[in-house]
Amino acid sequence: MAVVTNIQDLRAIAMRKVPRAIFHYADRGSYDETTLAANRADLAAIGLRQRVMIDVSDRSTATTLIGEKVALPLAIAPTGLTGLFHGDGEIHGCRAAQAAGIPFTLSTMSICSIEDVAGAVDKPFWFQLYVMRDRKFSESLVERAKAAKCSALVLTLDLQIQGQRHNDIKNGLAVPPKLTLANALDIATKPRWIASVLMGRRHSFGNLAVRQESDSLSTLSQWIAGQFDPSLSWKDVEWVRSIWPGKLILKGILDVEDAKIAAQTGADAIVVSNHGGRQLDGAVSTIKALPRIVDAIGGGKSEIWFDGGVQSGQDILKARALGAKGCMMGKAFLWSLAAGGQAGVAQAIEIIRKELDVSMALTGTRDIEQVDRSVLEL
């Protein structure tokens, strides 16, 4: 097997290992993918400032995120369908994250349920909530997250309606995977995925299983499409606040005006995010939006986090320099999971931790807490 030295190597392995429809689901963005590309391009365009002859022998990437100690300022972002990238993928991802000392977020749209993951790990994880039309069902998800002792609720705000991803339509992506002729021919070339996922126990949305009144695939997907609620408003955020007394993270803020309102809710953190370029194509890249939001609401109660294009330690250093307390990663997590299960995710986190550590040293920074705009070549 090829030597893996960076996240792109894991992506290349993932491409070989999982069916095209699943790989594209993670890899691609909405419409013309301009925002998807901008997330990466704008991060890459930021320079770091090389410093020399500063004693950097004793370094630390450790910090806190909403009061939880973390080995580096990184958390696994919530991703739907994770268990289709590797059998029991959410459990593998959570175990790897916890062993590496970073938080794991379980998506509402996960394949393993809240209870599956809670039963397989011994530390708390975070749960991501989509508020659905059926508020009673949303409330029941919150109750399940409480019962599973989740230590934070990540409320996603940027998916009242879904942006179109052309590839998901062209590939006939369905949950559970649909065996069209084209898909079957493709899947036949992925024996390890067949063994891990198709022959595994879980193929459908674990948290929504209770809602599945029929085993018809289209019925379930229709039900899900019908559940995303375009009428959501800040009142619903207040409602979630009232039923979830624990740590609350608001994810999907890109605009300064929205950031100001989000900060007024008293949320513990807000995540500057455009859903990884999967929603509004044409929206600003997250790294461009980050400093505007930090200037507007930085220093308040809510920590400001960042996601979108995080694929290296250098990316984290840049985001941190521009005021992000923490970062989340979505695609890089899924590629590493598809490439090697729990070991793959552990490897990805370690690659990124080392890149962050070395890049800090080369900018003359000993402690992640010291990182500010002075490490950037602006």
Binding footprint of ligand FMN on the chain (CB under 6 A): 25-26, 39, 77-80, 107, 109, 128, 156, 251, 273, 275-276, 278, 307-310, 328-332, 334
Give yes or no for a contact between 68 and 124, defined as CB atoms under 8 angstroms apart. no
Work out how close the CB of 89 gets to ligand FMN at its nearest, in angstroms, rounded to a whole number. Answer: 11
Round to whole Å and give the CA distance between 305 and 312.
16
Distance of CA 282 to the CA centre of its chain: 20
**278 labeled binding residue:** yes
DSSP letters of 188-209? TT-HHHIIIIITSS--S-GGGG
Give yes or no for a contact between 194 and 184, defined as CB atoms under 8 angstroms apart. no
Work out how close the CB of 336 gets to ligand FMN at its nearest, in angstroms, rounded to a whole number. Answer: 12
Q: Which residue number, 161 or 188, has a Cβ lying nearer to ligand FMN?
A: 161
Scanning 228-377, the segments in alpha helix (DSSP H) are: 234-243, 256-264, 286-297, 313-321, 331-362
Work out how close the CB of 366 gets to ligand FMN at its nearest, in angstroms, rounded to a whole number. Answer: 27
Q: Which residue number, 80 or 313, has a Cβ lying nearer to ligand FMN?
A: 80
Please report which helix (H) or strand (E) contains residue 48, including its range.
Answer: strand 47-48
> Active site includes 275?
yes
State the residue number with the nearest CB to ligand FMN: 330
Give yes or no for a contact between 196 and 312, defined as CB atoms under 8 angstroms apart. no
Tokens of 225: 């499409």
Strands (E), 96-193: 105-106, 126-129, 152-156
**31 labeled binding residue:** no
Work out how close the CB of 13 gets to ligand FMN at its nearest, in angstroms, rounded to a whole number. Answer: 17
Tell me which residue of 59, 32, 154, 157 sits closest to 104, measured CA to CA: 154
Residue 163 CB-half CA count within 13 A: 22
Q: Which of 24, 86, 92, 275 is catalytic?
A: 275
Q: Which residue number, 40 or 190, has a Cβ lying nearer to ligand FMN?
A: 40
Amino acid letter for position 204: S
**80 labeled binding residue:** yes
Q: Which residue number, 39 or 365, has a Cβ lying nearer to ligand FMN?
A: 39
**342 labeled binding residue:** no
Work out how close the CB of 29 gets to ligand FMN at its nearest, in angstroms, rounded to a whole number. Answer: 9
Q: Which residue number, 56 or 175, has a Cβ lying nearer to ligand FMN?
A: 175
Binding residues for glyoxylate: 25, 165, 275, 278
Which residues are tagged catalytic?
275
Binding residues for FMN: 78-80, 107, 128, 130, 156, 251, 273
Binding residues: 25, 78-80, 107, 128, 130, 156, 165, 251, 273, 275, 278
